[in-house]
Structure 1
Amino acid sequence: MMATQDGEREDSGVEVRVIGEPIGKGLFATQDFKAGDVIFEERPLVSCQFLWNAAYGYLACDFCMRSLETAQENASRLAQNPQLSLPFPECCDTKKDTFIECPSCDASYCSRECRSSAWNQYHETLCLRSYMPDPSHPLVMLQEAWKQMHYPPETACVMLLARIIATVRQASDKEGATALFMQFCHRTMNEEEEIAHKLLGQEFQEQLESLRTLIEKSVWSSEVQQWLTPEGFRSLVALVGTNGQGIGTSPLSRWVRNCDNLDLSEEERKNLNHLIDDLYDQLEKEAGGFLNNEGSGLYPLQSSCNHSCNNNAMPTFPYNNFQLVMSAVQDISVGEEICVSYLDECNLGRSRHSRNAILRENYLFTCKCSKCEEQTGEPDVTSEEEMEEDDDLED
C-alpha cells in the first residue's frame, strides 16, 4: 500500500497481513497477477556489498550497488582474457562519466546522487576519511575480522549492521528510524522448535563478542546503545541473518538483455546467441558461479513474503542496482499469499530433510508448504546421505 498526497490509501496490488504466531505476517495479493507480471518494486532501507566480493575486484557503487565496470571490462576480468571483445558496445549502459568518489575516502559511487544519499544516510558516520585506511582503525579491523570469520560464498555482511546503526545515528527522527528496522523479525531463536540462528551458536560466541566490541568502538552513541549490548547485538545479527535479501548486479547481464532487443537478421541473432553461450561457458570455467557484484539489503515488502518450496513469486534485480523487482512465476489470485523461496534453485531440488535443515539454521522454522507436506513420507535423511545410500546399494 502507498499513501497518496491527499492522505488516502492507494492499492498497490499487495497488502501485509498479520497471520499469527509463529509466522507473524505475510504478503497477500489484492488483485490477480499472471505469471511474468511485476507484483511490486522497492528500494532497500539499507544495503551493502559483501566484503569478499569487493576484495576480489567486483566494483560496485557504495550506495546502490550498480556495477562500476563496463560489460567489456566485466567479461574480460571474469574470463581472465584481456583480448576478449564484445560486439554492440552500445548495448552496455554503464555511464562512467557520472562516476564519483567520496572526497575523504576511497568509497566510489555511480553518481552524485548516490554519493549524497550515502553521506546523508550513514557515510558521514562510517567514512574513514583517508584513502590509505589505518589498519588499527576499528572499522578496518571490523571488516578484516568478519572476512576471517566468513569466507565465500557469503550470505551476510557485518557492514550492513554498521550501516543500520549509522543510519539511526544520523536520522533526524531517531525513534522513527529505529522503528523502521525493528519491524523486521529479529528473534534470536525459535523457542517452540528450540532452534537458534546459525550465526548465534555457542561456537560463535567469542567471534560475536569481538565483532560487537569493534562496532561499539566504531559507531557507539546513546541513541543506539540498545543494539550494542551483548543481547542487543545478537538481536541485530539475527535481524540481518533472517531478513537480508541477496542482491546481484551485473553490467554483462544488462548488455545481454539489451542485445535481446536488437533488430537483427536470423543469421546475426544465431551468431550472437552462439557468442553469448560461449562467453558464459568461459566465465563458468574461470569464475564458477561468482559472476555478479553481490551483497544484501533489507526490504520491508520483500521481507513480508513467507517461504514456500513451491513459490509463486521471485525477486530479481533487472536494473543493475539495488532496486528489487518482485515478479510472479505462477498465476496468483486475489487473496492468495505471495510466497518466495528462501533457497536457491540448487537447494530447492534437494530432499525435504535437506531443505528444512537449511531453513532451520538460517531462518528458524520448519517448512510446511504443500511440497513439503507431500514429501512427509520420505526418509529423514539429507540429499548427501541419500546419495551415499544409493552408492552403497550399487556397490
Structure 2
Amino acid sequence: MACSKETFINHGVKICPSLETQGRGLFTTRSFKNGETIIEEQPLFSCQFSWNYAYGYSACDFCMRPLETAEENARRLTAKPDLILPHTECDGTDKSFHVICSKCAVTYCSVECKDQAWNQYHKTICCNMLGGNPNHPVEKLNEAWKKMHYPPETSTIMLLVRILANFIQRSDREELKGQLMSLCHHTVNEEETIAHKLLGQEFESQLELLRDLSTKALGMPETNEFLTPQGFRSLIALIGRNGQGIGTSAFSVWVRKVSENEIDPTTDALIDTIYQEMETESGDFLNNEGSALFAIQSAVNHSCEPNCVSTFPFSNHTVALVASKDIEENEEVFISYLDECALSRSRHSRRKILEENYLFHCNCSRCQLEADEPDMTSEDEESMEDD
C-alpha cells in the first residue's frame, strides 16, 4: 500500500495519510518479523488515574513505574499481610532509587524521573498536588473530576493539568502546540460527542465547571487560548480520544521474570492461587492504571485483524509496538482498539462498539470480508453461546 506526503520518518516507520481511514496512519519503511519491536516511544504526557491514586495504588508520579515491591503489591491486593513471595531476586522494584519531592512529598522511582517531572510540569503545580491542599483549585478540579468519572476510569483531568502546566513552563510553546495539533482530528460535533461520552448527560454544565476550575488553577497568558469554551472542549476531546491506557504492576513483573528464567516450576501453583485471591479481593483493579498521549502511537489505526500489539515492556509509561505477524515494507501498521473479548464478536457488534467509543465506521479487511454475515448484537451472540 503506497502512501505519500509523509510527515514523520524514524527507525523503520513513517506517519503519512492512510488510504484505509483517509486520516493519518503509521507505515513501515522496512520489513518486520513476527515478534519484532517496531518502535518504543515515551509519551508527551502521562498520568495515573485519579481514583487509582486515591485507592492507594503506588506508582512513580512521572513514569508510572510501581513503587511497591512485588510482595507488598500481592499482600495489598489479596488482603494477606503475611504473604511471602519466594525469589526476591525477580522483584523489579528497587526502593533505594526512590526519591521524594521535598516540598510536596510526591514520590518518584528515580532522580531522573523527579527532574523530568520538575522540568515538564511539577514546578508549576508543586505543593498543589493530590491531597496536598484540599482548598487549592488543582485539588478542587481533581475532586470535581472524580465525582463525574467513577471507576472503571478511562481518562483523567490531571493529564490536562500537566499539558497546561507545561505550556506555562516551557519556552518553545509552538513546538508543543504543533505536537498537540497533530493529535487533533475532530470536528466540533465530534468533540461534543467525545465530551458527552466522557462526562455523561450533564456534560455541558460539567464541562463549564471543569473549565472554570482549570482557569482558576492554571489560567495565565500562556494558557488562555486553551481555556476558552472551544479551546477547553478541544483539549477534553484530545485526551478523551487519544489517551492510551497504561497499566503497571510489581507483581506481574515478578511473575514474568520467574517464568522467563524458569527458576522454579513449583511457583506456578502459587501464582495461580495469588491471582485467584487478588480477583476475589480486588476484582479487576489489579494494576497502577493511567493514561498517556503518544505522538507516534496515536497515528496507528485500528483493524479487527491487527498486525501488531501495544505493550509496556519496562513496567512504566514507555510503549512498544510489537509485530504480531510478519509485516512487509511500506505496509500500514494496525492495532486493535478492542479487547480480545470484543474482537471475537460479530462484525455488527465490533462496529457498534467502535462507533460509540471511537466515532468511526470500521471498514477494515476483516469487516469487509464479513460484510455478508447477518447482523448480530453481543446479546445475540451471548445467547447462542449459552444455548
TM over 0.5: yes
CA–CA distance in structure 2, aligned partners of residues 358 and 70 of structure 1: 37
Match for residue 342 of structure 1? 337
Segment of structure 1 superposing worse, 84-93 or 282-291 = 282-291
Matches for 1:272-283 after TM superposition, within 5 Å:
272-283=267-278
CA–CA distance in structure 2, aligned partners of residues 104 and 184 of structure 1: 34
Q: How far is 1:316 from its partner?
A: 0.7
Is 1:159 aligned to 2:158, yes or no? yes
1:190–1:364 contact (8 Å) kept in structure 2: no
Deviations 1:152-175 (A, max 9, x none): 111110100111111111111111
1:102–1:108 contact (8 Å) kept in structure 2: yes
Match for residue 184 of structure 2? 185
SS of residue matched to 1:210: helix
| TM-score for both structures, normalised by structure 1 | 0.89
Instruction: State the AA in 2 paired with 1:368.
Output: N
2:131–2:139 contact (8 Å) kept in structure 1: no
Matches for 1:71-150 after TM superposition, within 5 Å:
71-129=70-128, 133-150=132-149
2:40–2:320 contact (8 Å) kept in structure 1: yes
CA–CA distance in structure 2, aligned partners of residues 275 and 207 of structure 1: 46
Is 1:307 aligned to 2:318, yes or no? no
Deviations 1:256-311 (A, max 9, x none): 121124364xxx42x12222222222222222222111101011111010001111
Matches for 1:181-330 after TM superposition, within 5 Å:
181-188=180-187, 196-197=193-194, 198-199=197-198, 203-262=202-261, 264=263, 268-269=264-265, 271-330=266-325
Deviations 1:20-51 (A, max 9, x none): 79642100111111111111101001000001
CA–CA distance in structure 1, aligned partners of residues 193 and 66 of structure 2: 36
Shift in CA distance, 158/130, structure 1 to aligned 2, threshold 3 Å: closer
SS of residue matched to 1:247: strand
Shift in CA distance, 238/130, structure 1 to aligned 2, threshold 3 Å: closer
CA–CA distance in structure 2, aligned partners of residues 209 and 129 of structure 1: 22
1:105–1:128 contact (8 Å) kept in structure 2: yes
| TM-score for both structures, normalised by structure 2 | 0.91
Match for residue 6 of structure 1? none
Q: How many residues align?
A: 378
Segment of structure 1 superposing worse, 346-355 or 15-24 = 15-24
Instruction: State the AA in 2 paired with 1:92.
Output: D
CA–CA distance in structure 1, aligned partners of residues 10 and 321 of structure 2: 16
Instruction: State the AA in 2 paired with 1:224.
Output: T
Is 1:354 aligned to 2:353, yes or no? no
1:106–1:131 contact (8 Å) kept in structure 2: no
Match for residue 5 of structure 1? none
CA–CA distance in structure 2, aligned partners of residues 131 and 149 of structure 1: 17
Match for residue 383 of structure 1? 378
Segment of structure 1 superposing worse, 329-338 or 16-25 = 16-25
1:79–1:287 contact (8 Å) kept in structure 2: yes
SS of residue matched to 2:289: strand
Q: Mind listing any 5+ residue stretches in structure 1 that lack a counterpart?
A: 1-8
CA–CA distance in structure 2, aligned partners of residues 91 and 199 of structure 1: 39
Shift in CA distance, 186/218, structure 1 to aligned 2, threshold 3 Å: farther
Q: Mind listing any 5+ residue stretches in structure 2 that lack a counterpart?
A: 1-7
Q: How far is 1:196 from its partner?
A: 2.6
Q: How far is 1:129 from its partner?
A: 4.9
**CA RMSD, 1 decimal:** 2.4
Deviations 1:194-231 (A, max 9, x none): 99322377631111111111111111111221111111
SS of residue matched to 1:315: strand
Deviations 1:31-81 (A, max 9, x none): 111111111101001000001111111100000100000000001111111
CA–CA distance in structure 1, aligned partners of residues 59 and 121 of structure 2: 17
Shift in CA distance, 303/129, structure 1 to aligned 2, threshold 3 Å: closer
CA–CA distance in structure 2, aligned partners of residues 379 and 138 of structure 1: 52
CA–CA distance in structure 2, aligned partners of residues 175 and 184 of structure 1: 14
SS of residue matched to 2:202: helix
CA–CA distance in structure 2, aligned partners of residues 131 and 324 of structure 1: 26
Match for residue 3 of structure 1? none
Q: How far is 1:349 from its partner?
A: 2.1
CA–CA distance in structure 2, aligned partners of residues 281 and 326 of structure 1: 30
Instruction: State the AA in 2 paired with 1:65.
Output: M
SS of residue matched to 2:46: strand
Match for residue 4 of structure 1? none
2:9–2:15 contact (8 Å) kept in structure 1: no
Match for residue 169 of structure 2? 170
Deviations 1:312-360 (A, max 9, x none): 1111111111111110111111111100111222222233233223222
Q: How far is 1:381 from its partner?
A: 4.8
2:248–2:287 contact (8 Å) kept in structure 1: yes
CA–CA distance in structure 1, aligned partners of residues 312 and 60 of structure 2: 15
Shift in CA distance, 40/71, structure 1 to aligned 2, threshold 3 Å: same
Instruction: State the AA in 2 paired with 1:284.
Output: E
CA–CA distance in structure 1, aligned partners of residues 328 and 19 of structure 2: 22
Deviations 1:85-116 (A, max 9, x none): 11100110211111111111132111111111
CA–CA distance in structure 1, aligned partners of residues 129 and 176 of structure 2: 28
Q: How far is 1:374 from its partner?
A: 2.6
